[in-house]
């Protein structure tokens, strides 16, 4: 590394700007790579999610039908009332599950955390170098 004692202030400042520019370009590349990894992980899981979801939906329909039949038989209800009660129970359960899932699904979970942390560290180092 050459000595900085013989260099002028504009040269030193120009080098600092070039180094910071290179650093931030590399950080952007890191962010792209990290987001690419997250997209690939998500894409790989989609077929299993879709097939599992279809099978579970069929099973849920059958179970709800069985619950309605059970209510009708146990409480001697008209079929309409048995299906209505079953539908309301399913709707309430679905609402609660969706509400909980949406609370967990935030944009902060999708943020490239390693890149953000590295950018924060780089900014701190740049501030120290300017002083």
Higher pLDDT, 77 or 120: 77
Whether pLDDT at 6 is above 70: yes
Whether pLDDT at 106 is above 60: yes
Whether pLDDT at 3 is above 70: no
| pTM > 0.75: yes or no | no
pLDDT in tens, 51-61: 999 999 999 99
**Helix (H), strand (E), coil (C) string for the chain:** CCCCCCCCHHHHHHHHHHHHHHHHHHHHHHHHHHHHHHHHHHHHHHHHHHHHHHHHHHHHHHHHHHHHHHHHHHHCCCHHHHHHHHHHHHHHHHHHHHHHHHHHCCHHHHCCHHHHHHHHHHHHHHHHHHC
pLDDT in tens, 56-82: 999 999 999 999 999 999 999 999 999
pLDDT at 109: 66
pLDDT in tens, 17-39: 899 899 889 989 988 998 898 88
């Amino acid at each position: 590394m050459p000595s900085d004692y013989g260099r002028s202030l504009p040269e030193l400042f120009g080098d600092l700007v070039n180094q910071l520019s290179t650093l931030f370009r590399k950080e952007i590349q890191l962010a792209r790579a990290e987001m690419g990894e997250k997209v690939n992980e998500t894409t790989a899981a989609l077929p299993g999610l879709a097939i599992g979801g279809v099978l579970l939906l069929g099973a849920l329909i059958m179970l709800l039908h069985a619950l309605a039949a059970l209510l009708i038989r146990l409480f001697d209800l008209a079929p309409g009332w048995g299906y209505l009660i079953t539908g309301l129970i399913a709707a309430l359960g679905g609402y609660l599950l969706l509400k909980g899932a949406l609370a967990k699904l935030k944009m902060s979970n999708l943020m490239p955390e390693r890149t953000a942390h590295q950018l924060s560290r780089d900014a701190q180092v740049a501030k120290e170098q300017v002083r």
